[in-house]
Homo-oligomer: A and B are copies of this chain.
Amino acid sequence: MAAERIATVAPIAEADAKGKVAEIYADIKQTKNINFVPNLWRVLATNPDHLELVWTRLKALMHPEAAGRQSKLDATTREMIALAVSATNGCAYCVNSHTAALKKLGLDNEALGEVLAIVGLFNTTNTLADGYQIEADILPPLE
């Protein structure tokens, strides 16, 4: 079966996955409880070692229970952080993906608006702190 062409490389279709790639595809679907392999992973599969490195790390950080780790943050907080990074970087695929994840976790549009309002605010204050070259406040040390 021919893989369709997306972006700058042809992604590896599920039907074409073999060996390590097939195993990771199966793990992605089971860990994320979805019935398809998102485009990001099908594109990374053009270099199987790279696919493995990114998936191992993302699984450990975003699906800690599945990776046998314990997280101090809940799933919604983790996805909000991901959205904050993605909006700051202006990455369209990433914004779509993390907004969908947040909505699936139950976040409504008003709360989403609050997250992006905070993201927007700190893109202002970051710019101002850099634009005025403001020095760190000397604080009493935290032990």
The reply to whether B38 and A73 contact each other, CB–CB distance below 8 Å, is no
Report the separation of the CA atoms of residues A45 and B73 in the bound assembly, to the nearest whole angstrom: 19
A36 and chain B: residue at smallest CB distance: B137
Q: Which of A21-62 contact B (CB under 8 A)?
A: 36, 38-40, 43-44, 46-47, 49-50, 53-54, 56-58, 60-62
Given the known A-B contacts A50-B117, A81-B118, are A6 and B88 also in contact in the complex, defined by CB atoms under 8 Å?
no
* Interface residue ranges, A against B (CB under 8 Å): 5-10, 36, 38-40, 43-44, 46-47, 49-50, 53-54, 56-58, 60-62, 69, 71-73, 77-78, 80-100, 103-104, 109-137, 139, 141-142
A77 and chain B: residue at smallest CB distance: B77
The reply to whether A131 and B120 contact each other, CB–CB distance below 8 Å, is yes
The reply to whether B94 and A6 contact each other, CB–CB distance below 8 Å, is no
Report the separation of the CA atoms of residues A101 and B3 in the bound assembly, to the nearest whole angstrom: 22
Taken together, the copies of this chain in the complex come to: 6
DSSP majority for the A interface?
Answer: helix
The reply to whether A94 and B129 contact each other, CB–CB distance below 8 Å, is yes
Given the known A-B contacts A72-B110, A100-B139, A109-B9, are A124 and B121 also in contact in the complex, defined by CB atoms under 8 Å?
yes
The reply to whether B47 and A57 contact each other, CB–CB distance below 8 Å, is no
Additional 15 contacts, C-beta under 8 A, given A53-B57, A89-B126: A6-B133, A8-B99, A8-B100, A40-B134, A50-B113, A72-B110, A80-B80, A84-B85, A87-B131, A93-B135, A96-B133, A97-B136, A100-B139, A116-B128, A120-B125
